[in-house]
Amino acid sequence: MGAPVSDASGAGIPLTDRAKRIFVKSFGCQMNVYDSHRMADVAAQEGYQEAATIEDADLVVLNTCHIRERASEKIYSELGKVRELREAREVAGLKTTIVVAGCVAQAEGAEILRRQPAVDLVVGPQNYHRLPQLLRAASLRSGVVDTTFPVEDKFDHLPASSPATIRSRGVSAFVTVQEGCDKFCSFCVVPYTRGAESSRSVAKVVQEIVGLARAGVREVTLIGQNVNAYHGQDEGGRAADLAHLLNVVAKIPGILRVRYTTSHPNDMSEALILAHRDNPSLAPYLHLPVQSGSNRILAAMNRKHDVGDYMDIVGRIRAVRPDIALSSDFIVGYPGESDADFQETLDLVGAVGFAASYTFKYSSRPGTPGAELKNQIDEQTKSARLLTLQQLLEDQRQAFNRAAVGRIMPVLFEKSGRHAGQVIGRSPYLQSVYAVGDAALIGAIADVEIIGVGPNSLRGRIVAPASQSLDEIQRNAAFSGEADASLRKENA
């Protein structure tokens, strides 16, 4: 490894002394964000520093998303740009290695090399712990592909993120606790790209989060394609559910708030619903995709739940946590969706009232049962339905935000604002909140009165000092190791 350099460009530093740099560009979901971070951690072990810009990187990784056609196709135009970049760098005597990772890599494998021969390495989401060996192989022969589902667990082979790296990523972190999906919704590629459901053990998740908390992380979002199907082993070798894991994680010293995403309605257990009543650190927010409000379409989608089941969960969770904010994913234009089916989706949205949502036009994905269906919906109809649904959901989002005005809520401050003396954080309901306050508040929760509402954020006024400042937390005896001991007891 070369000597570290202090400026972003590395200008003026002899090439041989310049540390190698990696740039990971992440597409798609939060799990890819997490994987991107972990790939950077693996590369750090190999002497790579994170490049400030893609132009400055010796190793470019595109961590790709396959969920919809547009996301998938975008990769090829990105690769075209990266290839041009490589050619420009070559003129300057610099070598660039190009890696395609993530779900397009998994789904298309060697096809990527055929469409873009400049790619050096294609690596799937379960194999990136092998990056060092794969990069060595790719330096000897171009076009290496590793998309097997390995027997070993990548998490056992990933290096921990360094405290400095954790700090640079902020006070709120994602942690993958579950991966893969056994549900096989008929529109979705995830069961094919991410494989079968698997869960990390409680101890491994705790170990990772203790490391994050020690470096200053204050909020963790436990993520999984079907996070509420979590069934990791506890210390006694029994299967623990997500409610248990959330309770254990909430007790980790320094962790002030926990979240989880994404959930499937069929795995919304009573224990998890009750965790929203009993676990004070668990944010009152539930992302629970319903996809459609039509029972006919839900059946065609192989969702294995109907509208009644969904409404039942909404009722039960609101009974124990009346202020919970709900969000969902919706697909419009699934094959065979009639105007009446679509109207039922609008009716469901009207009946539930969502704080936020993600809406998608159905995108036919090769290899999924939905792609085989004859009664595909035309683009124009899909676009019109998308717009109507988005307008309704946007009205609901704004109404939800307006209702916050006058309320006092605990805000976890995450970063400085654009203007001096301003700090930005998140409400328990995932709303972005900015207020006048000192940067020392970053990493602490303060009570904030909401005094205004903008299109994408709330304006607040700090009314009570931070409940726990960063200093306080770091002085906390827990950081001397007592916490680990109490956690071990908790898990036993």
Q: Which does 128 bind (CB under 5 to 8 A by kind): ligand 5AD, ligand SF4, none?
A: none
Establish if 349 lies at the interface with ligand 5AD (CB under 6 A): no
Please tell me the count of residues contacting ligand SF4 according to CB under 6 A.
10
In angstroms, what is the minimal distance from the CB of 257 to ligand 5AD? Answer: 23
In whole angstroms, how large is the CA radius of gyration of the chain? Answer: 23
Residue 63 to residues 162, 286, 367, Cα–Cα distance (Å): 21, 27, 21
Helix (H, G, I), strand (E, B) or coil at 4: coil
CB of 108 to ligand 5AD, least distance (A): 16
* Maximum separation of any 2 CA atoms in the chain, in Å: 67
With contact defined as beta carbons under 8 Å apart, do 85 and 107 qualify?
no
* Residue 176 binds: one of ligand 5AD, ligand SF4, none (C-beta under 5 to 8 A by kind): none
Burial of 391 per CB tally in 10 Å (0-12, 13-18, 19+): exposed
How many residues sit close enough to ligand 5AD to count as binding (CB under 6 A)?
12
Structure tokens at 238: 């029994």
184 binds ligand SF4 (CB under 6 A): yes
* Per CB under 6 A, 194 contacts ligand 5AD: no
C-alpha dihedral, 393 to 394 to 398 to 401, nearest 10°:
60
What three-state secondary structure class fits 56?
Answer: helix
In angstroms, the CA 284 to CA 303 distance is 25
Cβ nearer to ligand 5AD, comparing 267 with 490 = 267
Considering the rule CB under 6 A, would residue 68 count as an interface residue with ligand 5AD?
Answer: yes
Residue 195 binds to ligand SF4 (criterion: CB under 6 A): no
Which x/- pattern over 219-258 shows residues binding ligand SF4 (rule: CB under 6 A)? ------xx--------------------------------
Type of residue at 281: S
Written as six digits, the tokens of 160 are 């921990």
Q: Return the number of the residue (368 or 431) whose C-beta is nearest ligand SF4.
A: 368
Complex with ligand SF4: residue 191 or 425, whichever CB lies closer: 191
Stretch touching ligand 5AD by CB under 6 A, among 12-20, 358-366, 421-429, 438-446: 358-366
Query: Two tokens at 227?
Result: 């996070």
User: Hey, what are 139's tokens?
Assistant: 């330096």
Using CB under 6 A as the binding rule, whether residue 46 contacts ligand 5AD is answered as: no
- Adjacent-strand bridge partners of 408: 449
DSSP 146-181: E----SS-GGGGPPPPPHHHHHHT-SEEEEE-EE--
**Where does residue 237 fall: left (phi above 0), alpha (psi -120 to 50 degrees), or beta otherwise?**
left
Helix (H) or strand (E) holding 28: none
Q: In degrees, to the nearest 5, what angle opens at C-alpha 421 toward C-alphas 415 and 426?
A: 35
Whichever of 389 and 450 has its CB closer to ligand 5AD, that residue is: 389
- State the binding partner of 412 from ligand SF4, ligand 5AD, none, CB within 5 to 8 A by kind: none
- The answer to whether 67 contacts ligand 5AD (rule: CB under 6 A) is yes
Among 28, 124, 191, 195, binds ligand SF4 (CB under 6 A): 191
Which of 79, 190, 458, 478 forms a contact with ligand SF4 (CB under 6 A)? 190
The nearer residue to ligand SF4, 96 or 368, going by C-beta atoms, is 368
CB of 64 to ligand 5AD, least distance (A): 15
Please give the structure tokens belonging to residue 408: 């006092």
Given the rule CB under 6 A, which residues bind ligand 5AD? 67-68, 187-188, 289, 291, 329, 331, 360, 362-363, 365
Given the rule CB under 6 A, which residues bind ligand SF4? 181, 183-185, 188, 190-191, 225-226, 264
